[in-house]
Amino acid sequence: MTVDKFNEKDEQLYQVMENINTENGIRTITGTPGLLGRALAEEVSGIQYSASVLPSSWFPFKGVVTADEIHLKADAQYVSTHYFDIFSIDIIESNKTKLFDGTNAVMISDEFAKKLFHTTENVIGKMVKWDQSEFGGVFQISGVFKKPPSNSTEKFDLIFNYALVLEKRPNLLNYGNSDPSTFVILGKEADVAALNIQIRDFASRKNPEAKQTIFLTKFSDRYLHGNYENGKQVGGRIVYVQLFSIIALIILVIACINFMNLSTAKASRRLKEIGIKKVVGATRSTLIRQFIGEAMLMTFISLIVAMGFIILLLPVFNEITGKALHVTFSFGLTSSVIGIALLTAIVAGSYPAFYLSRFNPVFVLKGKLPTSVGELMVRKGLVVFQFTLTIIFIAAVLIVYHQLQFIQSKNLGYNRDHIVHFDIPLENDSAKFASASAFVKSLNNIPGVVSASSYYHNLTGDHGMIAGFEWPGKTPGMDIDFSNLEVGYNFLETAGIHLKEGRNFSQTPNSSNEIIFNETAIRQMGLRDPVGKRVKFWGMEREIIGVAADFNFKSLYQPVKPCFFQVYPVMPNVMVRINAAAEDATIAAIGRSFNTFVPGMAFDYRFLDEDYNALYASEKRISVLARYFAGLAILIAALGLFGLAAFSAQRRQKEIGIRKVIGASFTEIVGLMSADYLRLVAVSIILATPVAWYVMSRWLENFSYRINIGWSVFVISGGIALVIAAIPVSYQSIKIALINPVKSLRTE
């Protein structure tokens, strides 16, 4: 809830987003034209400041900083002049204006300065070498800033002048690109809705060929409200916040229901107390205040115990969720917690208070407790309600588990097992390119290496999108956004992607004129016998030499998208498939080869299947948390039923004694005592099944590839609920059935 809200001008800080019309609907992205920021500030009233930023997340690989023979990987972003007027960056030491005097200055974070120089003092003026494709060079440190806080979405170690980007990427000097992010500070009186209408076609007014429209969205809302479908905001992480808030509320409601049920069931033990108090002059309002006060006392004792548990269990919770939460007793948190406790006490205590305070003193002093059919129905209804919620929890946990298992086992069209990947520095220098290419080739000679190649973009993340293709038989006016996969030689073999038609790239200079599409691309293009046909884009002509089988590097939330491969001798990300039988020795050998290629740099590698699993980190956390919450709900429901069954058994003790005297068997008595509660659970199963099916079907709709919800899920959920109910009820039933009838009949 606090992500990106640390900026002083948070209420005025907006990000410009872009909608692009495609064949498959409207695609919403954060990238915008390279000159948009400057033009908005100059031409649109209501915008005080604007800044163009090429964020660290734009780059599919880290850059490398070199100083005094130390090589460190770093995240960098490139910012324009008014960046520091928009974002709250804590400058420790700086001549920040020097950053924008030319393109050879850089600011570094305090944490990175300590890694590089072991201090943050006297680093201004020092020279460092920076390697990140065409943006590399020698730069002078002009300032030190405090690294952004943990609740910032952008993580970066270095800040460069955005003018360097425009210098190295002249294609950004028009309105046909969508690369940097654009941020603005609005005037305090600005009307966002009116501004969105005003700037909607801003890009197309600058360039009639531009297809995008733009709009403003509050920057700090982006983290929780980041999902867009067909140009409309449709949720995001806020769904998980709402989900777990609802789950917490449901668990609290189940606990309140138990308190109501147990309090009203215990009423018989307080009859004389209530009668005497009424006889000596206590009013009903006095008794209501007493019983609600008792509920409040119990609730606030529970609150103190709960806070103790929170402090003790928070490290475990952080480990499960991958967060870094800590308890800070701020006014907002304290008042919220006390408010929840007060509301809980009122909800839990109100029904028992009104129920107990209404008794006639004449009846209660005689030990008679009038019980209406309506009261019994309310009590049974509460039991049904809490078990309905519990069964929904159980079914949801099972469905989430099966969906995650399906994701793990689905054939994605490539083989992600036993592949390690890492990035290498790749300077804009022919000799360095040749050296890097030779390094990748040499990996194939290491024992245990099956195949090695390279690629550009983050393999499991977003890839560059390209439109404007021409091909034989193309429908006039038709356009398709293709994912652009820039890869090295042997990439398809290394990744385990099969060719349906044609051949792989030739390792010759002619390979730059070759292109491979996937099946989805060929199908959307409407091409028949595509191998040998020629396509054009960006003024270049390529021959289709093959068609790759469909594959899905990204998450299964999305269907397979049209894509194409183009080959280069070497790219900055290296992928190596290794023999599983000699994994450790092979990785060690790769590391030694890497250290020979880049002396002094740490060999940081990852397994591709880990990256794939990371796509579903949120779902896995949901699965784990849902199991804990379901277990908690089950425990509370079982404890409540245990207490109710105990009081019921106690009240029916004489009845059971009489039944035993006239010949009722042990089995008949246990069945009689258990039947009522088990029938209530059966009703809960009937009510919970359609609700659980509907809710989880909606959740599964988020996935393009998903399981079908079978009847077995609800059979298992109902069976678990029956067992949960049967254990406490049967225990109390057996306990009362074993009592000597003589003792039962003597009980007052």
| CB-based contact 17:214 (threshold 8 Å) | yes
pLDDT for residue 533: 92
Query: Poorest-confidence range of 71-85, 214-228, 299-313, 557-571?
Result: 557-571
pLDDT for residue 674: 74
Percent above pLDDT 90 for the chain: 25
pLDDT for residue 106: 94
Backbone angles phi and psi of 224, in degrees to 5? -90, -25
Backbone angles phi and psi of 549, in degrees to 5? -60, 145
Alpha carbon distance 424, 438 (integer Å) = 13
Q: What's the chain's Rg over C-alpha atoms?
A: 34
Query: Poorest-confidence range of 17-31, 249-263, 363-377, 589-603?
Result: 363-377
- pLDDT higher at 441 or 230: 441
**Where do the structural domains in the chain lie, given as residue ranges?**
10-236, 239-407+616-746, 419-614
Q: Is residue 519 over pLDDT 80?
A: yes
| Mean of pLDDT values over 87-116 | 88
- pLDDT higher at 420 or 661: 420
Banded model confidence at residue 188, pLDDT cuts 50, 70, 90: confident
pLDDT for residue 27: 82
Banded model confidence at residue 555, pLDDT cuts 50, 70, 90: low
Burial class of residue 2, CB neighbours in 10 A (0-12, 13-18, 19+):
exposed
pLDDT for residue 101: 86
pLDDT for residue 746: 60
Alpha carbon distance 511, 649 (integer Å) = 84
Banded model confidence at residue 263, pLDDT cuts 50, 70, 90: confident
Question: Which residues is 578 bridged to in the sheet?
Answer: 449
Q: Is residue 368 over pLDDT 60?
A: no
Query: Poorest-confidence range of 103-107, 127-131, 132-136, 217-221?
Result: 132-136
DSSP 266: G
Query: Poorest-confidence range of 31-40, 239-248, 533-542?
Result: 239-248
| CB-based contact 86:51 (threshold 8 Å) | yes
609-643: pLDDT as tens digits:
777 666 667 777 777 877 888 788 888 877 777 77
45-68: pLDDT as tens digits:
889 999 999 998 888 788 889 888
430-449: pLDDT as tens digits:
777 788 888 999 999 999 99
Alpha carbon distance 731, 734 (integer Å) = 5
Amino acid, single-letter form, for residue 504: N
Question: Which residues is 709 bridged to in the sheet?
Answer: none
- pLDDT higher at 350 or 546: 546
Banded model confidence at residue 461, pLDDT cuts 50, 70, 90: low
Q: Is the pTM of this model over 0.85?
A: no
| CB-based contact 197:152 (threshold 8 Å) | no
Pairing of strands 76-79, 540-548: unpaired
pLDDT for residue 732: 72
Banded model confidence at residue 468, pLDDT cuts 50, 70, 90: confident
Helices 666-700 and 617-651 sit at what angle, rounded to 10 degrees? Answer: 160
pLDDT, averaged across the chain: 83
| Mean of pLDDT values over 494-521 | 89
User: If we measure between CA atoms, which residue out of 454, 462, 457 comes closest to residue 433?
Assistant: 454
Residue 366 has a CB neighbour count (10 Å cut-off) of 12
Alpha carbon distance 200, 212 (integer Å) = 9
pLDDT for residue 271: 67
Question: Which residues is 171 bridged to in the sheet?
Answer: none
